[in-house]
Every structure is written in C-alpha cells, then in structure tokens.
Structure 1
C-alpha cells in the first residue's frame, strides 16, 4: 500500500490529481490522495494515518500544492433501524476546494 507525507505533498510543484477527506465519528478526518499515479493515505512520522480534526485543518495543511479535485466523504452509521429495510449505501460525497487551483 502506498502512503504520502505532508512534507512531500505541500509544495508548489506538487499536483494532486484527487484528494478524498474521509470523515469519521468523533471529529476524525483521514486524507487519501492520488499523487504521481499512487493512491494512498497521508501518514505521520510513525507511518500511521495522519489524523485531522476538521476539513479546515486539512485545507491549512495543503496550502501550497495544487489539488485538481477534492471530496469530503462520510458514511453514516445511523442508517440501521430495527425492522427497517436492509442497509443501503448512504455515502455522502461533497466536492471541496483545497490547495491552489489546478485549472
């Protein structure tokens, strides 16, 4: 599995093809990027997924690079109810602008 570090991504010459912010319970956000034809999560110095506390924190961490397209993705855990229909895909995917404009 590939991974990326903020120090290598947040540079003016870097062009990220796609960035996905995965939103989880308790205000945890993990970031997955496609850069240099490699898809992987941003990791910390211990090679663990870098945790962010908000979308704004992700934006602030990536102000120098160009992000061609970005998305915020969230899957709700509250779609199952007793006696309700079978679980369906309830993924919410919203386009977001991050980094410098890739146009």
Structure 2
C-alpha cells in the first residue's frame, strides 16, 4: 500500500479509478484511493492519515479529479460493545456521489 499526499493530488487533475470514503464515529472520514498504478490512503503534510470532517470537504478536495467510482463504508464498534453478535467481515459499500451541491 502506498501513500497519497494532498500535495501530489492538488496541483494536477488525478484520474482516480476507485475512491473509498471510510466513515467513523464523530464525523471522521478517511479516504482510500486507487489509480492505474498505485493504491493507498490519503495523508497530510505531517505524514498522518488525512482526516476529513464532512462529505462536502471530501468532494471539494477531489473536485478537480476524475473519479470513476466512489463508495462509502461505515464502521462502528457499538454492536459488539453492547453484547450483540460481531458484525460480518464484509462491510457494505454504498455509492458516494462526488458531485458538488449547487
């Protein structure tokens, strides 16, 4: 797995074959990208996974890119915390629109 930095994504219009928004509690989103030649998470300038705080922030960050397919996956620990059976290993990937609102 490789790292994508915002610096390498921002100046040019990157063609992204697959963009996965990983949704966590408290409005924290991480982004995983796959291009023709590499795949990995998006990192900030300090080398940490880039935290996004809204779907709009993700759309604005990648507005200049061509995104072929985008999905969102949500992970929550609450079922297991309250005694429910563990969730399945397969997470559901819901379509994620990259279109900016008017």
Same topology, TM > 0.5: yes
Tell me the SS of whatever aligns to 1:23: strand
What's the TM-score, normalizing by structure 2? 0.82
TM-score (norm 1): 0.81
* Residues 76-87 of structure 1: pairs in structure 2 closer than 5 A: 76-80=76-80, 81-82=82-83, 84=84, 86-87=85-86
Specify the alignment match of 2:73 in structure 1: 73
Task: Could you tell me which runs of 5 or more consecutive residues in structure 2 were left unpaired when the two chains were aligned.
Answer: none
How many positions carry a matched residue from both structures? Answer: 97
More strand by share: 1
**4+ residue segments displaced more than 4 Å:** none
CA contact (8 A) 1:65 1:99 kept: no
1:12-71 CA distance string (max 9 Å, x none): 3x2101000101111111001002321111101111101100111100111111000001
